[in-house]
């Protein structure tokens, strides 16, 4: 594997410094997967939070001449709501009383100088999916982790991945003691379909290449 280009190195540094939940080893694995995917098409991320993982994808996109499309309603997942473990009152828009991560997302993308490669779509993924027709080179699933929403994202987007493209699934924990099981369920269903082969990932990040 060749070393990252100068422009990619700057974005990787910005990604590692950015606020968010993506561990560095998993972020680097996501970057490498996006960097080496062999088929044409954009990189699409379902679930963006404040843009940390989007910057890892942006580093690969800048290096390979692609774009990153991020899809997120920016109202936070269940665990970010009041009374839950990851709720941050500073993220609540006082005018509407709802979580709003879009300003932080836009700030981090702008500060990293990645606005030319990151296209942010603010909506629920299942609303955008029926309108989307371009085959994807890489699909990164990292949205809400309830069983219902994880299955909905899988049903809405996996079929849009080109043959030869890469599916990345975050927060895959086989042991329930380590984390929620919804992404693991997506992973199991995708592997069981016979349409994908697994390639090396990192930590809770699973990577699969579509073979048919």
pLDDT tens string 18-28: 999 899 999 99
Delineate the domains of the chain, giving CATH numbers in brackets: 6-207 (3.40.50.150)
pLDDT band at 180 (very low <50, low <70, confident <90, very high): confident
Q: How far apart are CA 104 and CA 162, in angstroms?
A: 32
Query: If you average pLDDT over residues 195-208, what whole number do you get?
Result: 98
Residues 6+ apart with CB under 8 A from 98: 75, 92
Average pLDDT, the chain: 94
Phi and psi at residue 131, to the nearest 5° = -90, -10
Catalytic hit among 73, 74, 80, 145: 145
Structure tokens at 159: 């079929």
Query: If you average pLDDT over residues 66-82, what whole number do you get?
Result: 86
If one compares 14 and 99, the residue with the highest pLDDT of the two is: 14
User: Does residue 145 carry a catalytic annotation?
Assistant: yes
């Amino acid at each position: 594997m060749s070393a990252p280009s100068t422009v990619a190195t700057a974005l990787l540094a910005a990604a590692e410094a950015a606020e968010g939940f993506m561990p560095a080893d998993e972020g680097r694995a996501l970057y490498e997967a996006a960097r080496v995917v062999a088929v044409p098409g954009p990189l699409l991320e379902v679930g963006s939070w404040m843009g940390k993982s989007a910057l890892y994808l942006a580093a690969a996109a800048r290096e390979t001449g692609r774009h990153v499309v991020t899809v997120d309603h920016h109202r936070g997942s269940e665990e970010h709501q009041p009374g839950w473990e990851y709720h941050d009152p500073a993220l609540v828009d006082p005018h509407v009383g709802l979580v709003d991560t879009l300003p932080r997302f836009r700030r981090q993308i702008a500060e990293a100088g990645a606005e030319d490669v990151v296209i942010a779509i603010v909506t629920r993924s299942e609303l955008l999916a029926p309108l989307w027709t371009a085959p994807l080179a890489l699909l990164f699933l990292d949205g809400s982790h309830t069983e219902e929403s994880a299955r909905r994202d899988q049903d809405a987007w996996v079929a849009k991945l080109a043959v030869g493209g890469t599916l990345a699934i975050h927060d895959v924990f086989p042991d329930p003691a380590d984390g929620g099981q919804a992404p693991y369920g997506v992973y199991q269903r995708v592997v069981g379909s016979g349409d994908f082969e697994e390639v090396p990932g990192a930590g809770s990040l699973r990577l699969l290449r579509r073979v048919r």
